């Protein structure tokens, strides 16, 4: 038995103990101020018992918590949990020498996630589906999940049958399930091309048996029984197979409101960079003409089709372009009145450098990674921009991830 006192909550949701030699010891599921009993295994600590609990500790809402790796922070009370998410943003900004006021965390409700990726593998001849344990490839089968919409959990029998049909010999499968207006859209990754061809008819039959709207494998739509349509600001958008989508419609709405509110009323042309299928572009088109740039061809095509079917909005020009390799240059930005960018986790390092040289009056930066966002904000601030507002948006409930919407003015 090793007794420890937890000093603070780390950025990944672990309890942190500052050791005398200057190193830090991480204790999963422990909170600041708690006295805990741990087992030491190879320099790592495993929590046995909580000897003195924190007043911030509450009972987790899911019976799989502590085994399933999907949630790390269900044991934290709502107020300190929201403060933790805000601190992730404050600390990331401070690491880059930035200290703007950071707003309170906007949190989505439980059972709001409309998209999730489930792991599937074979245990001998038995297919298993669930989520991985924390920092492990071991799979935890689940019968409840307070994060996802109930319709996604109802897909487990179909995903189990799908795993058994494909029966991967090595590794496993990733089943991404999205709830659309047409029903469940399932995309399978980890299946070899030869298996897609061999199993095409059985896959079509499985989709019919479980009433799936669409079933895709390896990026190819095997069967589309009903269109995989989502609603973005009143516009019907057909998702490309495996295409990116904000995990929660509630979070998308919050971020959309923050982004559109930041754009001045009289702008004429807005650039929406890393636009995806139009999360912001379709909303922004109510205010001005939009140039939407995205690197994925399927997303560009989906946005273009959706934009053509709208009325009462300004024109949206959807362009395929890899902004990491071919960022929008200073000359191209001259006729742009406002820029919105929402890059992948790696951020927008190249594009930020060109934005910093531009004269664009308003920039709204959206990111799911506070570290790379802070790097890009540092570039913009050094180029003469001022951070006006920073808002954390927690669409990744009980995880150590957070979205951020930041408004900057030249």
Q: What is the pLDDT of residues 81-133, one digit of tens each?
A: 999 999 999 999 999 999 999 999 999 999 999 999 999 999 999 999 999 99
Q: Which of 90, 102, 103 is closest to 371 using CA atoms?
A: 90
Residue 45: pLDDT band (50, 70, 90) is confident
Query: Which position has the token pair 């805990």?
Result: 36
- Is pLDDT at 231 greater than 90 in this prediction? yes
Strands (E), 15-161: 15-18, 24-27, 35-41, 44-52, 106-107, 115-123, 126-132, 139-141
- Tens-place pLDDT, residues 51-66: 999 999 999 999 999 9
Residue positions annotated with a catalytic role: 368
- Tens-place pLDDT, residues 233-272: 999 999 999 889 999 999 999 999 999 999 999 999 999 9
% of the chain with per-residue pLDDT over 70: 100
pLDDT at 342: 98
* Orientation of helix 78-95 relative to helix 370-382, angle to 10°: 40
Mean pLDDT in residue range 147-158: 97
Q: Give pTM, 2 decimals.
A: 0.94
Mean pLDDT in residue range 160-167: 95
Mean pLDDT in residue range 311-329: 96
- Is pLDDT at 1 greater than 80 in this prediction? no
Output the CA–CA distances (angstroms, integers) from residue 192 to 189, 203, 346, in the order listed. Answer: 9, 14, 28
Dihedral, CA of residue 188, residue 189, residue 190 and residue 195, to nearest 10: 50
Full set of structural domains in the chain with CATH: 2-57 (2.40.50.140), 84-109+245-409 (3.40.50.150), 115-229 (2.40.50.1070)
Whole-angstrom distance, CA of residue 295 vs CA of residue 60: 40
């Amino acid at each position: 038995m090793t007794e420890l006192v937890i000093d603070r909550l780390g950025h990944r949701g672990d309890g942190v103990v500052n050791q005398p030699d200057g190193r830090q010891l991480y204790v999963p599921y422990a909170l600041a101020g708690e006295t805990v009993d741990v087992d030491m295994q190879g320099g790592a600590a495993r929590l046995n018992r909580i000897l003195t609990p924190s007043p911030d500790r509450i009972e987790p809402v899911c019976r799989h918590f502590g085994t399933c790796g999907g949630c790390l922070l269900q044991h934290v009370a709502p107020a300190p949990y929201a403060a933790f998410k805000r601190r992730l943003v404050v600390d990331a900004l401070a690491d880059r020498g930035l200290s703007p006021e950071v707003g309170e965390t906007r949190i989505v409700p439980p059972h709001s996630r409309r998209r999730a990726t489930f792991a599937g593998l074979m245990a001998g001849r038995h297919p298993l589906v669930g989520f991985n344990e924390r920092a492990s490839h071991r799979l935890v089968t689940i019968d409840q999940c307070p994060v996802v919409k109930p319709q996604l959990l109802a897909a487990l029998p179909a995903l189990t049958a799908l795993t058994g049909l494909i029966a991967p010999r090595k590794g496993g499968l990733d089943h991404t399930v999205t709830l659309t207006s047409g029903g469940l859209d399932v995309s399978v990754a980890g299946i070899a091309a030869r298996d897609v061809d061999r199993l095409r008819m059985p896959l079509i039959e499985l989709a019919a048996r479980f009433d799936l709207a669409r079933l895709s494998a390896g990026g190819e739509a095997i069967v589309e029984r009903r269109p995989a349509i989502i609603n973005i600001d009143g516009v019907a958008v057909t998702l490309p197979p495996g295409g990116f989508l904000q995990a929660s419609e509630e979070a998308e709405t919050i971020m959309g409101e923050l982004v559109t509110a930041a754009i001045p009323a009289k702008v004429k042309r807005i650039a929406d960079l890393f636009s995806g299928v139009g999360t912001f572009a379709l909303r922004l088109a109510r205010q001005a003409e939009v140039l939407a740039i995205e690197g994925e061809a399927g997303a560009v095509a989906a946005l273009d089709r959706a934009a053509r079917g709208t009325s009462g909005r300004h024109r949206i020009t959807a362009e395929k372009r890899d902004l990491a390799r071919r960022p929008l240059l200073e000359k191209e930005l001259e006729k742009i009145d406002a820029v919105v960018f929402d890059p992948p986790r790696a951020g927008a390092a190249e594009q930020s450098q060109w934005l910093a040289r531009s004269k664009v009056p308003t920039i709204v930066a959206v990111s799911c990674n506070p570290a790379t966002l802070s790097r890009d904000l540092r570039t913009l601030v050094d180029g003469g921009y001022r951070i006006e507002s920073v808002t954390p948006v927690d669409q990744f409930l009980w995880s150590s991830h957070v979205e951020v919407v930041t408004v900057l003015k030249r």
